[in-house]
């Protein structure tokens, strides 16, 4: 049987990884400034994480959500403490799209409405409602298009209010910082107005922190830079450092009832062990401090590259913008310089999403390689 061919692949076969280094089958080492789409938070094969997963596997890897699972409770407690949102509750699932799907559904159950406001250039995943609120017609199939969604530009609060006034909007979904779209973000003024309007019009504010959460922005959640509170926060990517786990944090305005949400795999023992190990390492290694330090260092260091016109994003969720399409540059960085970076809908951006453990020396390595690559392409 062949694989269904949906991914354009680089001809690289990683066989080992440690912290920010990936080694391929020929022994070539790559600097990972992309974390496999922003998934690697505490570094590849972090020893405490590996030990915790191995130990969990030796005991019990999975049972359904019909039994007591103290690991879920431990994970929720740690997550509440580290995010500062102890009064929220946690529903566990297995991916970012599933988190968004559950958030949109919970919002609709809650206020009995169905229209969603999403933003231009958004990406929220590939399942039913999640893909319908994603601003990319190419990946929305007719079966997904039956959802009622209105896309608006970021940072235009009047347009949002015009829609909310109509009374049929269930939720507004917004990324803490846009990922796939190209690192644009709402201003503090916009986020704060959005929070107020949602409360005034009985609309659920959903913060998609699947990519921007888990310390990546320098605070636990990117929206916390704007001093607002969301009604539902969606998580995945960094949450398991590669183990598939997602979740939604649910504010106290929602009431749970048996059967309202559910999943077979979500919150299983192995996933929780991964999630707990990640939170323990983020806390003990003070990774959010590292994010802020390396971010400040990056902003200074990138000034050595005159071709860069802007750095978008925040923390270790960055887009380095040029005034040309960077596809060739990105390819050269991987093939010749052995550095993984990412791309975005905005073709002029190199996306930087390294493990949160990245050191300043790795930024130096990146800058030297970037300068060389740019010179070689001239
Ligand atoms: C902001 C955001 N939301 C949702 C998703 C979907 O997550 P998953 O691929 O785990 O379903 C992604 C994935 O890139 C994302 O960046």
d(CA 99, CA 110): 16
Q: Quick one: which atom of ligand 1 is closest to the CA of 130?
A: 4
Residue ranges of the domains in the chain?
A: 14-46+286-377, 47-284
Residue 63: per-residue pLDDT: 96
CB crowding 200-230: b at 16 or more within 10 Å, else e:
ebebbbbbbbbbbbbbbbbbbbbbbbbebeb
- Computed from CA positions of residues 90, 95, 14, 336, in that sequence, does the dihedral angle turn out positive or negative? negative
Residue 254: per-residue pLDDT: 98
Residue 303: per-residue pLDDT: 98
Residue 162: per-residue pLDDT: 98
Residue 145: per-residue pLDDT: 87
Which one of 93, 104, 123 would you pick to mutate in the ligand 1 pocket, going by the greatest count of ligand atoms within 8 A of its CB? 123
- CATH topology agreement for domains 14-46+286-377 and 47-284: no
Residue nearest to atom 7 of ligand 1 (CA): 96
Residue-wise pLDDT for 172-203, tens only, equals: 999 999 999 999 999 999 999 999 999 999 99
CB atoms within 10 A of CB 1: 3
Residue 201: per-residue pLDDT: 98
236 Cβ below 6 A of ligand 1: yes
Residue 164: per-residue pLDDT: 98
Q: Quick one: which atom of ligand 1 is closest to the CA of 212?
A: 1
CA of 176 from ligand 1 middle (Å) equals 12
14-46+286-377 has which fold? 3.90.1150
**Positions of the chain with pLDDT lower than 70, given as ranges:** none
Q: pTM for the whole thing?
A: 0.98
d(CA 76, CA 98): 18
176 Cβ below 6 A of ligand 1: no
Q: Three-state DSSP class for 335? A: helix
353 Cβ below 6 A of ligand 1: no
CATH code of domain 47-284: 3.40.640.10
């Amino acid at each position: 049987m062949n694989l269904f061919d949906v991914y354009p692949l680089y001809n690289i076969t990683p066989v080992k990884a440690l912290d920010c280094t990936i080694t391929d089958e020929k022994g070539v080492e790559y600097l990972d400034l992309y974390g496999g789409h922003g998934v690697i938070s505490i570094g590849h094969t972090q020893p405490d994480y590996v030990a915790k997963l191995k130990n969990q596997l030796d005991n019990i890897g999975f049972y359904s959500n019909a039994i007591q699972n103290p690991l879920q409770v431990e994970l929720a407690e740690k997550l509440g403490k580290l995010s500062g949102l102890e009064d929220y509750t946690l529903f566990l699932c297995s991916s970012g799209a599933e988190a968004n799907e559950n958030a949109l559904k919970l919002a609709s159950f809650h206020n009995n409405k169905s229209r969603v406001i999403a933003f231009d250039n958004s990406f929220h995943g590939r399942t039913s409602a999640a893909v319908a609120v994603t601003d990319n017609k190419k990946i929305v199939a007719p079966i997904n298009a039956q959802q009622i969604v209105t896309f608006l530009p970021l940072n235009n609060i009047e347009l949002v209010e015009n829609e909310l006034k109509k009374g049929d909007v269930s939720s507004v979904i917004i990324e803490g910082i846009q990922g796939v779209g190209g690192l644009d973000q709402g201003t503090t003024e916009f986020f704060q107005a959005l929070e107020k309007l949602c409360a005034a019009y009985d609309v659920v504010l959903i913060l998609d922190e699947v990519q921007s959460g888990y310390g990546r922005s320098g605070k636990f959640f990117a929206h916390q830079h704007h001093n607002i509170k969301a009604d539902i926060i969606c998580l995945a990517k960094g949450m398991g450092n590669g183990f598939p786990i997602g979740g939604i944090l649910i504010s106290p305005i929602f009431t749970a009832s048996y059967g309202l949400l559910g999943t077979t795999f979500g919150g299983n023992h192995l996933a929780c062990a991964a999630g707990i190990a990640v939170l323990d390492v983020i806390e003990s290694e003070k990774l959010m401090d590292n994010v802020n330090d390396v971010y400040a260092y990056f902003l200074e260091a990138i000034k050595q590259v005159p071709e860069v016109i802007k750095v978008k994003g925040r923390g270790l969720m960055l887009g380095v913008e040029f005034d040309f399409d960077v596809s060739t540059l990105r390819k050269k960085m991987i093939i010749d310089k052995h550095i993984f970076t990412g791309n975005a809908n905005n073709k002029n951006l190199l996306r930087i999403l390294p493990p949160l453990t990245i050191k300043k020396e790795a930024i130096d390595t990146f800058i030297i390689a970037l300068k060389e690559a740019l010179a070689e392409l001239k």
